[in-house]
Amino acid sequence: MTVIPVVYVKGQYNHLIARRLQELGVDSQLVPPSTPLSKLEGMGADALVMGGGPQSVRSLDSLPQELKEASALMRQTKLPMLCICVTHQLMATTFGGKTNLARKPEFGPVEVYVNEEDSILQGLKPSFTAWESHNDEVVALPPGFKALASSENCKIQAMRHEVRNVFGVEFHPEVSHTPKGVDIFKNFLAAIG
């Protein structure tokens, strides 16, 4: 059985991520970002999914504790990762990209245009409706990453590392109002499988 812990960073939808993965037959539960790598290995984790949260991550110097820990975990782990919303932004900031206040924030339904299907967006061209809730956004990719999707207001709706199975999405694939969100989890499972 595939084991994918969900790193809980205080977002409302974090618990829903675990529910979606459970529905796909994955052994998934919430873990705090302070969980040591050895414990994740002990659980037999095949990948990590990191959730969203209400924080702002424009600078690494002023991160709240749980995101300091999440940022450290991102740097240490070699596991495949899917990072959602605030942790997508945190991944950009952590690996040398840039997060800033969005020119226009997005709340509720947004049309996301797929530039490159790659692995996690397989079958989602040309576009799909996603539910969003963010004031900040990734404004510059970290080195070694490429953008996969965009929306009218936000250029980097999804990104991936060019070599590793490390992905970030600005929107929320875990909520039921992103009808094709489950495809993104399925694609992620296929990519790491």
Partner 1 sequence: MAVQGFHPSSFLTNETARLEKAVSTGKAIAAVSGGVDSTVAALVAKKALGDRLSPIFIDTGFLRAGEPEEVKSRLADSAIGLKVRLVRAGGRFLESIKGQSAAEEKRKKFRETFYQVLAEEAKRDGCEYVVQGTIAPDWIETQGGIKTQHNVLQQIGIDPLTSFGFKIIEPLSELYKDQVRLLGRHLNLPSDMSQRQPFPGPGLLVRCIGNVSKTKLNLLKSSTKIIEEKLGPFNYEQYFGAVIENRFVKDPAHKKLQETAAAALGLPAPETPVDVFEERVTGVKGDDRAYGRLAGIKIREDSRETLGWLPEKLRHAQSTIVESTPEITRVAVLVKERRGGPPLSIIVRAVSTRDFMTAAVAPVPWKILKDIAESILKSGDASRVYYDITPKPPGTIEFE
Is position 69 annotated as part of the catalytic site?
A: no
Least separation in angstroms between residue 163's CB and partner 1 is 30
Q: Which residue is catalytic, options 106, 132, 170, 174?
A: 174
Are 185 and 20 spatial neighbours (Cβ–Cβ below 8 Å)?
A: yes
**Residues 91-110 within binding reach of partner 1 (CB under 8 A):** 104-109
Least separation in angstroms between residue 182's CB and partner 1 is 11
Residues near partner 1 (CB under 8 A), total: 32
Q: Compute the distance between CA of residue 19 and CA of residue 44 in angstroms, rounded to an integer.
A: 19
Q: Compute the distance between CA of residue 177 and CA of residue 131 in angstroms, rounded to an integer.
A: 6
Is position 154 annotated as part of the catalytic site?
A: no
| Window of 37-45, 47-55, 117-125, 157-165 that interacts with partner 1 by CB under 8 A | 47-55
Q: Which is nearer to partner 1, 39 or 177 (CB)?
A: 177
80 binds partner 1 (CB under 8 A): no
Q: Which residue is catalytic, options 106, 137, 172, 177?
A: 172
Q: Compute the distance between CA of residue 150 and CA of residue 135 in angstroms, rounded to an integer.
A: 16
Return all residues near 78 (Cβ < 8 A) that are at least 6 apart.
none
Of residues 175, 184, 187, 189, which one binds partner 1 by CB under 8 A? 175
Of residues 40, 70, 86, 90, which one binds partner 1 by CB under 8 A? 86
126 binds partner 1 (CB under 8 A): no
Q: Which residue is catalytic, options 85, 88, 106, 170?
A: 85
Is position 172 annotated as part of the catalytic site?
A: yes
Least separation in angstroms between residue 189's CB and partner 1 is 14
39 binds partner 1 (CB under 8 A): no
Catalytic residues: 85, 172, 174
- For binding to partner 1 (CB under 8 A), which residues are involved? 10-13, 15-16, 19, 22-25, 52-54, 85-86, 104-109, 131, 133-136, 153, 172, 175-177
